[in-house]
Amino acid sequence: MTINSIQTRRFDTLIIGAGGGGLRAALQLAEADASVAVVSKVFPTRSHTVAAQGGMNAALANVLPDNWHWHMFDTVKGSDYLGDQDAIEYMCRAAPKVVYELEHFGVPFSRLDNGRIYQRPFGGQSQNFGGEQAARTCAAADRTGHAILHSLYQQNIRARTHFFDEYFAVDLLKDDEGNVLGAFVFDIHTGEEIIIEAKTTLIATGGAGQLFRTTTNALINTGDGMAMALRAGVPLQDMEFFQFHPTGIAGRGMLITEGARGEGGYLVNAMGERLMERYAPKAKDLASRDVVSRAIYTEVKEGRGCGPNKDHVMLKLDHLGEDVLQKRLPGIRQTCITFLGIDPAEQAIPVYPTAHYTMGGIPTDRYGQVVVPVKDTPEEPVNGLYAAGECACVSVHGANRLGGNSLLDILVFGRSAANHIIGYLKENRYHRPMNEASVEKAWQRLHRWDKTGEGESVERIRADLKKSMEDNCGVFRTQEVLDNGIKEVSAIAERLKEARISDHTGMFNTARVEALELENLMDVALATVYSASARTESRGAHSRIDYPERDDKNWMKHSLYSSEGRKLDYKPVRTKPMSVTSFPPRPRVY
């Protein structure tokens, strides 16, 4: 292999990922006349943002009084005080503007009778710093992500963004000084390899929900960008915090949006009791997600679960009436009819917590710049390297994300990363020479999977990894179980080295993609179990039976996991907002 034997394409910016984060950034850049390449392993409008149901938060005050400062308070509290308050302030202030921009891009938001954008209540939202329930989530029925992604894609086509559809990014490429200069990618259909050289690279590859067996996430959510960053020497931040959504369809994992409870749905146990009254007397079913997930898990563990195996609880929507369901939750209704054979207008839905969202990721500042510890400083930006969306950790979600804040996060920080890149490109006008060894390394990584035939299958190893993560790194954790997780996942990672792909399906590149994805998933799994085992407190989604209390004295800090030596480091939480006073940690009750 020589660099010259591989086709090279040059752009100002390479964006890896065509979800909401990647497309929002691409649009901003294309409109500023930068040449932008977007690489996506699936057709852009199949990116996982399309699955987002309930909506996106912004203090528009269309239904109830609201303002960005209350939104900020709720987000800091929801994060269990681990979120960085400067980034949270930035996001909550920007939210209304970003929603109105979407409206102008053509997003068909649902409407109130007065023509304004419809907003529904979601979990963890309050008026006046912890007072009455707020209604902050802007929705396009229960297909908000679909509406946003399609509008952004159309706008990008208009702005002439260059798309590499169904291309797989294998690894980041560098120059001699270690600066990232693009990526090595291949066409999944033909196998053709391309070096995409870029002055700036934005990783927007989404989350890693495929770490777990029961998940709301699609097969494509394998943490590829996070693993690429790890291999490029960037540590991953706060990987111990993984969100389990309270209402996945029991046994199957598909999501029933929090919007269903926002519209007035509620959870009952086997005795028909409204269980959330016991765990969150004020917010009840609209408490924060970590709180509701733990409540369901506890009901089942204590024998109050429903069904022959007492292994789930029921979500009641039948009292809302067919009209409300059809107008506000048509997708949910259809999902239940298709996959469960029940109509929620008549019957309750069996639900149980399911893996949903990666709070941790590639550390960035609020301009989307990837930041790493350098010598004695907790963080310095890496020249020309950016990340946005679920793969990044800004950190606005801290230890627990509020529903409706992820669509907001991907759009606000996709946009702000693009704005920073525009400035960077003005100062850095020329491409730098590529380091051939980094191309060779990426090429080797791909061609390691040329060998087919004897050896354990990738499918078997992936299934074992997901089972181990579910058993050892779930809703409730202990030292013993987490340490067992480290042992098991490390052993599974060793098996992967000897695995082979089979080409019996005749779809050789698809098999290669699955193998590369599993390598990525494995790196992210190791980051998750190592980080979780080290954090000896309970905070947000990281709930330790052996350390049940939050420990602000020792643990108001972000973890940073490096794959080199599987080592953990820490940096302080940024508790100082941009312009208002801090919200100091308080007991978190709903």
Ligand X SMILES: Cc1cc2nc3c(=O)[nH]c(=O)nc-3n(C[C@H](O)[C@H](O)[C@H](O)COP(=O)(O)OP(=O)(O)OC[C@H]3O[C@@H](n4cnc5c(N)ncnc54)[C@H](O)[C@@H]3O)c2cc1C
- Taking CB under 6 A as the rule, does residue 247 contact ligand X? no
- CB of 553: closest distance to ligand X in angstroms? 32
- CB of 186: closest distance to ligand X in angstroms? 9
| DSSP string over 87-118 | HHHHHHHHHHHHHHHHHHHT----B-TTSSBP
Q: Which is nearer to ligand X, 226 or 568 (CB)?
A: 226
Q: Measured at CB, which residue is nearest to ligand X?
A: 19
- 383 exposed, middle or buried (CB, 10 Å; 0-12, 13-18, 19+)? middle
Stretch touching ligand X by CB under 6 A, among 6-14, 192-200, 399-407, 582-590? 399-407
- Taking CB under 6 A as the rule, does residue 172 contact ligand X? no
Stretch touching ligand X by CB under 6 A, among 20-28, 90-98, 187-195, 428-436? 20-28
- CB of 218: closest distance to ligand X in angstroms? 7
The encoded tokens of residue 442 equal 């990426």
d(CA 492, CA 552): 35
- CB of 162: closest distance to ligand X in angstroms? 14
- Taking CB under 6 A as the rule, does residue 224 contact ligand X? yes
Binding ligand X by CB under 6 A: which of 18, 173, 230, 442? 18
Stretch touching ligand X by CB under 6 A, among 42-50, 112-120, 572-580, 581-589? 42-50
φ and ψ at residue 409, rounded to 5 degrees:
-55, -50
Dihedral of CA atoms 370, 375, 377, 380 in degrees, nearest 10, equals -20
- Taking CB under 6 A as the rule, does residue 22 contact ligand X? yes
Strand order across the 266-268 sheet: 242-249, 349-358, 313-316, 266-268
Stretch touching ligand X by CB under 6 A, among 151-159, 220-228, 311-319, 438-446? 220-228
Stretch touching ligand X by CB under 6 A, among 38-46, 339-347, 367-375, 501-509? 38-46
- Taking CB under 6 A as the rule, does residue 204 contact ligand X? yes
- Taking CB under 6 A as the rule, does residue 124 contact ligand X? no
d(CA 28, CA 51): 23
Binding ligand X by CB under 6 A: which of 56, 140, 196, 249? 56
d(CA 356, CA 390): 11
Dihedral sign of CA atoms 421, 423, 426, 428 in order: negative
Please report which residue ranges of 498-545 form alpha helices under DSSP H: 508-534
Give 551-586 as a 3 state SS string: CHHHHCEEEEEECHHHEEEEEECCCCCCCCCCCCCC
Q: Which of 289, 333, 415, 512 is catalytic?
A: 289
Q: Which is nearer to ligand X, 187 or 273 (CB)?
A: 187
- CB of 245: closest distance to ligand X in angstroms? 8
- CB of 350: closest distance to ligand X in angstroms? 17
Binding ligand X by CB under 6 A: which of 124, 145, 350, 398? 145
φ and ψ at residue 62, rounded to 5 degrees:
-80, -25
Q: Would you call 10 a catalytic residue per the annotation?
A: no
d(CA 118, CA 456): 52
Yes or no: say if 58 and 138 are a contact pair by the CB < 8 Å rule: yes
Q: Is the peptide bond before 395 cis (omega within 30 degrees of 0)?
A: yes
Binding ligand X by CB under 6 A: which of 14, 15, 16, 499? 16
Strand order across the 567-572 sheet: 236-237, 557-562, 567-572
Sites for ligand X among residues 355-394 (CB under 6 A): 357, 389-391
Q: Which residues are catalytic?
A: 289
Residues within the interface to ligand X (CB under 6 A):
16-22, 39-42, 47-49, 51-56, 144-145, 168-169, 204-207, 216-217, 220, 224-225, 255, 257, 357, 389-391, 404-407, 410
